[in-house]
Structure 1
């Protein structure tokens, strides 16, 4: 390659973002230990964003809260330390990140085809664990929504999805929905008419969306069973009327989960079980709740692939295990449309996150 061609390649940047990886050399941005978040370095495949809010992954935020003794200032310190050390919000304990809300500052020449312009308000749909990020300060920490208001800048790679913020709902609500937008479209792929579907953590953000999508997919001839550890969230779920049965149960207790689900499914188990719980140690609950040759889908970032695979093997369960993918074609509009179609769901989510 000529020196001129090499220079063009360097100024363009790798679409996957490898040009921002500092350590280890040759890694992709997500598994990398450190990224370069220096926005004074311009690459034509990148979009630079002035960041206003970080929407932290639920498992990550919970872990930081526990490590800080519930102190929001402690969570802020951990975020600042992680970003300063790694050049991204990539929780070293949970391995997860979240996503962000901001305003487009710069669009590289090779990113103009994506249709975004300077001044657009956008949300990133790729994880903070692979997004170069620098923070000047943290303005506020809001534990209820796991959102953190900040002043900073981020870099979006050519391969990373993002969405323009909708104008018909509060931005904080839209940000919360886009954070888990991959959940509902996956349910639509897996749940069939007349199926029995179990949702673990059904009262939380992704759980509510999964339960609502499951109801839409299975129809009234199917069955949706919601399990939720929080009595308050379980009451909210009952009031929505999207589940045929709601039980207060800790998903870390597989025997308790089994004893709820089996009598409601003719002792067979569910056709599809969705795990939306933001704590570790719930893999076996999803497995025991699922019928032979059924499907278990793990959406939460706290899931252990090892625990799921060996757990199913250990109790002789022949079921299909799926790892949650936060991205699906059209997932942002799919999820926003689902909430728009249900005023009661929109009101509940808005009361928590809007």
Structure 2
């Protein structure tokens, strides 16, 4: 039976969804409701890329070999340590007659679903990837299901720039939604207190977009938290946050102190956009009672977050950013076009890679 969520592509174990499967069928022949993409570039998520880079000491050949091994063994790109994958861009090569995605042969698209559930095969050995960038030039194919999501790449932005923004487009969309609700609730209650937002990992892709999304949604004061002085200088120059502080997000007291000092109060909303583990307790401690912590990091331990909040007697709502919100792709690209500071951060990151 051909499943709209790809159950027919699961090879083992039987009965689970593709994301939870150990191995997928990545054969190129498509079902009537599927689409085949000729892959041009993979984008590893930040947590997976960091783990691979640290494991292999930045040795590009060894990183390439492990990524190829993962894809070859599993029929998808899912880092077995982080559990995360990334996304890709490519050109629509064939569409099934019953595909509901509205894609046409020749469309250049970015997939907005994770590589952890996308059947994928590589044909070029990733020979053009040196291991220094999250973005991997690639020749291969990938399969989209009826319930997959993809966005046609805009003509006015370089594909690599679009890929970088679309990779994290769920973060600014959910950040805006959360902040808008706080603004509306306080206005309805006659509460004049301004909304304050902290973004941990503020100089990164998801972090910088979340900062400008929070500001546009009505946050009165924002602070970006970064780990090193170089990122502080870049974020300050971009002008996307009201304050920028340097703090180790793995040090709960230092992080909380930095945020509350910069905002003069704990944050109403704290958005976690880092690619290292161990930041859960600091995020909770930096957030006001009744506030919200949004976790967008695939390095997050949700057990640590929940048990840490309990141990701190912290009355906070904790949200898992699932990477999808209606209109999230268009929203991220709109911010990228409208905010020169954010675009500059993205372009500098791509140039450095």
TM-score w.r.t. the length of structure 1 is 0.93
Whether 1:286 and 2:283 are equivalent positions in the alignment is yes
Does the Cα contact within 8 Å between 1:144 and 1:353 map onto a contact in 2? no
Match of 2:334 in 1: 337
Whether 1:97 and 2:85 are equivalent positions in the alignment is yes
- The RMSD of aligned alpha carbons is 1.3
Distance of 1:61 and 1:295 partners within structure 2: 28
Give the one of 9, 12, 29 matched to 1:23: 12
Whether 1:80 and 2:80 are equivalent positions in the alignment is no
Does the Cα contact within 8 Å between 1:122 and 1:164 map onto a contact in 2? yes
Distance of 1:144 and 1:327 partners within structure 2: 28
Unaligned runs of 5+ in 1: 1-9
Does the Cα contact within 8 Å between 1:261 and 1:270 map onto a contact in 2? yes
**Is the partner of 2:291 in helix, strand or coil?**
strand
**Residue 309 of structure 1, CA deviation:** 0.2
**Residue 250 of structure 1, CA deviation:** 1.2
Does the Cα contact within 8 Å between 2:223 and 2:241 map onto a contact in 1? yes
Distance of 2:23 and 2:69 partners within structure 1: 13
Q: Provide, for residues 267-309 of structure 1, a one-character-per-residue CA deviation record: whole Å limited to 9, x for no partner.
A: x411000000001110011100000010000001111110000
Distance of 1:245 and 1:101 partners within structure 2: 35
**Residue 140 of structure 1, CA deviation:** 2.5
Does the Cα contact within 8 Å between 2:248 and 2:254 map onto a contact in 1? yes
Match of 1:217 in 2: 217
Distance of 1:342 and 1:163 partners within structure 2: 21
Match of 2:174 in 1: 186
Give the one of 261, 264, 272 matched to 2:262: 264
Does the Cα contact within 8 Å between 2:245 and 2:262 map onto a contact in 1? no
Q: After TM superposition, which residue ranges in structure 1, 4 or more long, deviate above 6 angstroms? A: none
Give the one of 272, 277, 281 matched to 1:275: 272
Match of 2:191 in 1: none
**Residue 142 of structure 1, CA deviation:** 5.7
Match of 1:297 in 2: 294
TM-score w.r.t. the length of structure 2 is 0.93
Query: Which segment drifts farther, 305-314 or 188-197?
Result: 188-197
Whether 1:63 and 2:51 are equivalent positions in the alignment is yes
Match of 2:250 in 1: 252
**Residue 259 of structure 1, CA deviation:** 1.4
Does the Cα contact within 8 Å between 1:281 and 1:303 map onto a contact in 2? yes
Match of 2:122 in 1: 135
Does the Cα contact within 8 Å between 2:225 and 2:245 map onto a contact in 1? yes
Does the Cα contact within 8 Å between 2:202 and 2:208 map onto a contact in 1? yes
**Is the partner of 2:231 in helix, strand or coil?**
helix
Match of 1:310 in 2: 307
Match of 1:232 in 2: 230
